[in-house]
Chain A
Amino acid sequence: MRLLEVEQDTWVQVIGVDGGRGLQDKLIQYGFFIGDRVRVLRRAPLGGPLLIEVDGREMALGRGVAEKIKVEALP
């Protein structure tokens, strides 16, 4: 499943990032790691970014980015 498809307020775990080292390194710089638990807090309208919660902080991710993040549901 992709982060983009996750329903609002559902906690999921990050299992991988598509799009090469570049994007993954960039996400790590912002404190977004594989294995982190995240949830989507809100979505901006008109194809705008997602507001997500990771580690008690909030981040905005463009849809293109969220599309590349692979997640799985938490048991």
Chain B
Amino acid sequence: MRCVLVGRPNCGKSTLFNQVAGYKAETGNFHGTTVTFTASKVRVMGTVLDLVDLPGAYTLSGASPAEREAQRYLDEEPVDVIVGVLDASHLAQSLELGLELLQLDKPVILALNMLDESARLGLHIDGTGLSERLGVPVLPLVASKGRGVRNLFVAALDAAQKGQAANHRYGRELCTPQARHTAGAELAAAFVRQGERHLTWRDRLDDALLHPVWGYAVLLLILYVFFQTVYGLGSTLEAPLLDFFSRLTDTFAAPFGVDTFWSQLVIGVMQGVTGGVAIVLPYLLPFLLGLGLLEDIGYLPRVAFLMDALMHRIGLHGKAIVPFILGYGCNVPAVMSTRTLEEDRDRFMAAALATLVPCAARLAVVFGLVAFYLGPVAALGLYAFNLFVIALTGRLLTRLMPEDTPGLILEIPPYRVPTARNVFNKAWFRVREFVVEAWPALIVGSAVLALLNFIHAAQYIDLAVRPLTWILGLPAEVGVPLIFGILRKELSLVMLGQALGTMDFGSVLSTVQLFTYSVFVVFYIPCLATLMVLRRELGNKGMLWISGLTVVVALAAALVSRLVLGLVV
């Protein structure tokens, strides 16, 4: 039996999904975050339901990719019952989509979600009256607190088993968006009574957070605290973990003697394991928790509002700030999130620029090389340089592909109190992607390199990449970590130890070399996973163009830093 959740963006649909599906899906407060649908099996009164969470849609006849996806799914897939999730605090608008659902020839029930929010706004909603008028069940729900979830699914099951005659429903004749808009407003006027509104801190928050001066100060402060916390937590955990794993590696490798096939293999595998646990996870985990928090509070759309003017300077509008911020965590979700942009050109631009944003894996490289050996100021400098290069690339790309859209249109949802469950689920979901997909590649790659080293094949790879490393003034040995970095970016750090024969990079690489190497790693070809997503989102051509672009940008940026730093240091 298949049950489908449909609702406008920010209606709490994904929160509902997460309540019952646990860690298997992700949710967010930004418009259209759930662009692909997610599914999970849920047990209700002894029956197993296939629960599907469709992307947030303002209408079923919309043109955005997410809306087309929702529409296509409802048209083509077998669906036993549709649960329309309505935002009780904005009933008139939610009903527009609700009325569209009533016209489908399938069982429908409606959930009045966020009743806590509407009560805060002083709204009294007559759910029974609304249900009688519409001719379908209307259930109360506070998904964020799990209230009404059970009853909702019991009602959904009931509707699916009984079937519903669609022709008795209200509003069958409303076929234009304008007609549904009017009908939604009439229904809301009939069944919603406005009582006294309780003003809270949330209503005043935007006075500060969107203030022309303080808004930016707060934004900088939030980002500063955010990255400071991530760095603080990460580096606190990194050193003892590295220490622990290096001793563990020695213990495991000792029985196999020195420089034997098996000892090299054990060291290689352990270096991959160490890279994941000690170098990536300590930064990735706090980053994802923090990002999930900002997402669920509803701060990200505000960032889009604040940054719109600036983003126009690099040829994009404010909505494209989300791929950028996500990009600092991982380029994969960043490229995926470009799907919320309506224009092809904007999607290409945002994806191209977002892949230049240093992700958590590259953060590990920057922190492991630049911050550790040259100090945090140098790392900050690299980040500033990175922003500058992205802006420059954006301007150049805009020359080639001029902006032709009128500009930003974006819903700014009310602030919400995030729930720990949602934030943790989302972080876990993203970490799981790393652990399941990337980490094994890391371990295998690390082992393969160790073996290549053992049979002395590494020198041939180094030789092939030599023209590049020579131009950049780097030792030939870094060729292998650079090639393997395409597999996973953190390999460029982990395998550097293997390639150079020491984990104390400061003793073999000069300041200029460390910085130049890091700059190149930050910009050149995105990792394998990102390449795959680029191909899915933009096609082969888009993927190849962006890969080529990143190599050119990386080479130029690394050369500039080599030459400039060579003069200064």
Binding site for B on A (CB under 8 A): 19, 23, 25-34, 42-49, 51, 55-65, 67-68
Contacts and interface: CB of A to CB of B under 8 A. Distances in A.
Contacts of B90: 55-57
A48 B411 contact: no
Contacts of B305: 44, 48-49, 51, 60
Given A45-B309, A64-B406, A51 B63 contact: no
Contact of B306 (A27, A48, A61, A65): A48
B255 to A, nearest CB: 63
Nearest to A56: B90
B309 A61 contact: no
B342 A44 contact: no
The interface centre, meaning the residue of B90, B92, B309, B407 with most chain A CB atoms within 10 A of its CB, is B407
B407 A26 contact: no
Given A30-B409, A47-B309, A49-B408, A57 B67 contact: no
Nearest to B312: A47
Nearest to A25: B63
A27 to B, nearest CB: 7
A44 B312 CA distance: 13
A59 B96 contact: no
B392 interface: no
A71 to B, nearest CB: 16
Interface of B: 58-59, 62-64, 67, 89-90, 92-93, 96, 177-178, 181, 185, 206, 210, 212-213, 301, 304-306, 308-310, 312, 317-318, 342, 405-414
A63 B212 CA distance: 16
A60 B302 CA distance: 9
B178 A33 contact: yes
A55 B92 CA distance: 8
Given A47-B309, A48-B306, A29 B62 contact: yes
Contacts of B58: 29-31
A70 B334 CA distance: 36
13 contacts: A23-B406, A27-B409, A30-B409, A31-B96, A33-B177, A43-B212, A46-B310, A59-B411, A60-B304, A60-B305, A61-B408, A62-B317, A63-B407
A63 to B, nearest CB: 7
Interchain residue pairs A-B with the least CB separation, the first 3: A62-B407, A48-B309, A62-B408
Nearest to A67: B406
The interface centre, meaning the residue of A19, A32, A33, A44 with most chain B CB atoms within 10 A of its CB, is A44
Nearest to A34: B178
A47 to B, nearest CB: 5
B63 A65 contact: no
Nearest to A66: B407
A62 B177 contact: no
Contacts of A29: 58-59, 62-64, 67
A35 B506 CA distance: 67
B409 A65 contact: yes
A72 to B, nearest CB: 18
A51 B411 contact: no
B409 A44 contact: no
A68 B178 CA distance: 19
A62 B96 CA distance: 25
Nearest to A59: B411
Nearest to B213: A45
Nearest to B91: A56
Nearest to B305: A60
A52 to B, nearest CB: 9
A59 to B, nearest CB: 6
Nearest to A46: B309
A14 to B, nearest CB: 12
Given A51-B210, A68-B406, 6 more contacts: A26-B409, A31-B93, A49-B408, A59-B412, A60-B412, A62-B317
Contact of A44 (B64, B178, B212): B212
Contact of A49 (B64, B177, B318, B414): B318
Contacts of B96: 31
Contacts of B301: 60
B210 A44 contact: yes
Contacts of A56: 89-90
A55 B206 CA distance: 18
Nearest to A57: B90
A51 B212 CA distance: 12
Nearest to B306: A44
Contacts of B89: 56
B409 A64 contact: no
Contact of A42 (B62, B92, B93, B210): B210
Contacts of A62: 308, 317-318, 406-409
Contacts of A31: 58, 93, 96, 181, 411
A4 B185 CA distance: 26
